[in-house]
Amino acid sequence: EDQVTQSPEALRLQEGESSSLNCSYTVSGLRGLFWYRQDPGKGPEFLFTLYSAGEEKEKERLKATLTKKESFLHITAPKPEDSATYLCAVPAYGGATNKLIFGTGTLLAVQP
């Protein structure tokens, strides 16, 4: 069964303290892994798509990497404005519907 697991559930960092979020997945035939950011009271906002092991994408203080079993979202020198819930997702097997399977997210709090 296709599955996405994120860890930790919550992470509290001091401003400037780098860390990583994990997204592990089990899926038949990966057709991409997606990272989203969700601010309180808002809808998820698309960040990155990764398609193959070894691929990396960067945006400001965020860098996403992908292996055959998991993805990491590295946050370098985070600022309070990086505080949000970060979600990852993979397409469900049988891609005609474009359905995504989402993890439950990591709630990141960056304190000044």
Q: Give the amino acid at 22.
A: N
Q: Decide: helix, strand or coil at residue 105.
A: coil
Tell me the torsion sign for CA atoms 41, 82, 111, 75. Answer: positive
What is the distance between the alpha carbons of residues 39 and 85, in angstroms, rounded to a whole number? 6
Contact footprint for other proteins (CB under 8 A)? 31-32, 34, 36, 41-46, 49, 87, 91, 95-100, 102-105
Q: Which is nearer to other proteins, 63 or 100 (CB)?
A: 100
For the CB of residue 18, give the shortest distance to other proteins in the complex, in Å.
Answer: 26
Cβ proximity to other proteins: between 37 and 82 the closer is: 37
Closer to other proteins by Cβ: residue 21 or 78: 21
Element (H, E) at 65: strand 62-66
**Closest approach of Cβ 17 to other proteins, in Å?**
26
